Amino acid sequence: MTNQLQNRSTGGNSTYKKLAVQWLNEALCFVSSSVVADSFRLRNRQLLVAANRYMPFKEAYILTIIFFCMIRLTHGQEKGTSKHHFSIYKNDQELLIKDCELSINIDGVKLVASRIDNVFTFPKVDTSKSFTITIKTEKMTFTSGPYKAWYLNNGSQMIFGRLTKIKSLLSVAEYNDMTEKDENWDIFSKRFFIVDRAYTIDINDFKKVRKLQFLILNPDQQGDGSYVLTQKIMRLRR
């Protein structure tokens, strides 16, 4: 079974839902391990000697730099990550996310996302790199990509789905009351609405497909609402 990559744009189509836009600003700060150790001293007034109430200028200057780096470190950690809202669908039904792992692979290095409810957080990656993403649940593993770094760094909405009722899907052609004589019938008769009609998927020879999986990666952005959909046919009809 092979993966098929589809690019989509929801611009100018009122049947597609509009997604909220989020922006994350990047911040970069280089700090040493000594900053973490000195931060303990700054937080604990018991470690300050009362007799040295007036510190020499040099020591005060060093502590000022350390305090500044602590602020930058906290700021960098907040701005140095990207958040991804993740959901799982079976046909048009959203499922409860139980045991699920999201990871990316960059040049052979695996990074696993942290998770709070349905929000997964990754560190931002080098903008010159590409990555693949892997989803692991109790019953399945799905790998997709490669994607450019900005798909990850901007944050996104990710939807992982499984279709088992291909014949019951509504096509764009049917939705618009098209016939075989209409222009682009061949395209829109194979394009189907999924995920509560918020997205579409192209399925060639759909009458032969019994089961497929897909991943929608919709990055947070301004513009036409473009997204990438990857599908994998899992089972054909006999």
Question: Is residue 45 located within the same domain as residue 89?
Answer: no
Say if 162 falls within a structural domain: yes
Number of domains comprising the chain: 2
Tell me if 28 is assigned to some domain. no
27 domain residue, yes or no: no
| Whether residue 102 is found in the same domain as residue 122 | yes
Q: Do both 186 and 98 map to the same domain?
A: yes
What share of the chain has pLDDT > 90, as a percent? 52
pTM of the model: 0.66
- Residue 231, pLDDT > 50, answer yes
Residue 26 lies in a domain: no
Same domain, 114 and 45: no
The answer to whether 101 touches 111, Cβ cutoff 8 Å, is no
Q: Does 122 share its domain with 172?
A: yes
Q: Are residues 52 and 87 in the same domain?
A: no
Domain containing 68 equals 33-79
Q: Which amino acid is at 61?
A: Y
Q: What is the pLDDT of residue 56?
A: 54
Same structural domain, 71 and 157: no
The dihedral formed by the CA atoms of 12, 161, 221 and 124, expressed in degrees to the nearest 10: -170
Whole-number average pLDDT of the chain: 75
pLDDT attached to residue 238: 74
Look at residue 37 in the predicted model and tell me its pLDDT.
Answer: 33
Same domain, 47 and 95: no
Band (12; pLDDT cuts 50, 70, 90): very low
Q: Are residues 116 and 16 in the same domain?
A: yes
Residue 103 pLDDT > 60 = yes
Burial of 67 (0-12, 13-18, 19+ CB in 10 A): middle
Whether residue 55 lies inside any domain: the answer is yes
Q: What is the pLDDT of residues 177-198, one digit of tens each?
A: 999 999 999 999 999 999 988 8
Closest to 89 in 3D by CA, of 193, 163, 140: 163
Instruction: Specify whether 74 is located in the same domain as 141.
Output: no
Domain shared by 64 and 134, yes or no: no
The CB density around residue 183, as the number of other CB atoms within 10 Å, is: 8
